[in-house]
Amino acid sequence: MEERFVHKGSIVRKIWGKSDMVLLVFAGSAAEFALNRSVDWLYYTGRLPADPIGRLFSTVRYARDIIFSSYDRALAAIDQITAIHSGVEKSRGMKIPDGAYRDVLFMLIDYTIRSFELLGRRLTVEERGEIFDVFLRVGDRMGLRGLPGTYAEWELMREDHLERNLAYSELTKDLYGRYRKSLGAVRYRILLGGQALLVPERVRGLLSLPAGWWMGGVILFYKTIRVMKLDRMVKAVVLPAAYRAQVAALDMGT
């Protein structure tokens, strides 16, 4: 049997095989990316600010190549990510801070957990540990330094990173303006409502996200129609037409 980087029964594959959960992971990450003290790296190549939604799907493809591929192909995908970042560092003539790499890894762990729990149920201790283990192995392969050894250690480091590495800046304001331009006023408001429910209190406060109480009702409604298998209809209405096919493809990963 072919060895997998993430085994087929993993909770990670269950989460990343559902388009709505993947979109929530990146809705949360989009909020935190904008606040990161190293956000200037996202602007260096110009790709993210030029097309934030397209960049989202590019990132999703890499993540899913790791999660749903054979062991060797997953390692190749991780190595390609490392090579791309090395190329950007060489072009700019400076190194991306180690903390910035860890921040991204920590975001993926946290929002993978938060997204599942928002739409599903509370994860068990073992399931949370499994999510941590998958992304820790990604970080190890990338050669990242200063990674936590256990889930409990990650929780402490995550809180420390949230306090130390986030700040509202002009780039934050600019990036949110680009989110609004890409999504339109209505979808942008939905994004803000979802982020308000999803992100840690520190992120919500720095972004002054509006109270997402109304979004709680939307989530309850969505969970109901999801059980009825009508969620694709809602996605067709809510998502920009240019990206509907790509979102639908996310549901085929399992």
pLDDT at 209: 93
pLDDT tens sequence across 11-53: 999 999 998 899 899 899 999 999 999 989 888 877 777 788 7
User: Which among 117, 116, 51, 47 is positioned nearest to 84, based on CA atoms?
Assistant: 47
pLDDT at 176: 95
Residue 242 or residue 194, greater confidence: 194
User: Which among 58, 71, 80, 85 is positioned nearest to 137, based on CA atoms?
Assistant: 71
Cβ neighbours for 123, distance < 8 A, ≥ 6 positions apart: 11, 113, 116, 117, 131
pLDDT tens sequence across 77-119: 999 999 999 999 999 999 998 889 999 999 999 999 999 999 9
Mean pLDDT of 135-152: 96
Work out whether the CA dihedral 170, 173, 179, 181 comes out positive or negative. Answer: negative
User: Which among 146, 143, 165 is positioned nearest to 154, based on CA atoms?
Assistant: 146
| Res 253 pLDDT > 50 | no
| Res 75 pLDDT > 90 | yes
Buried b (16+ CB within 10 A) or exposed e, 52-61: bbebbbebbe
Q: Quick one: 112 exposed, middle or buried, by C-beta within 10 A (0-12, 13-18, 19+)?
A: buried
**pLDDT classification of 220: cutoffs 50, 70, 90:** confident
User: Which among 35, 18, 25 is positioned nearest to 203, based on CA atoms?
Assistant: 35
Q: Please report, for the chain, the start and end positions of each structural domain, with discontinuous segments joined by +.
A: 11-252
User: Which among 205, 178, 206, 174 is positioned nearest to 191, based on CA atoms?
Assistant: 178
In whole angstroms, give the CA distance from residue 68 to residue 36. 29
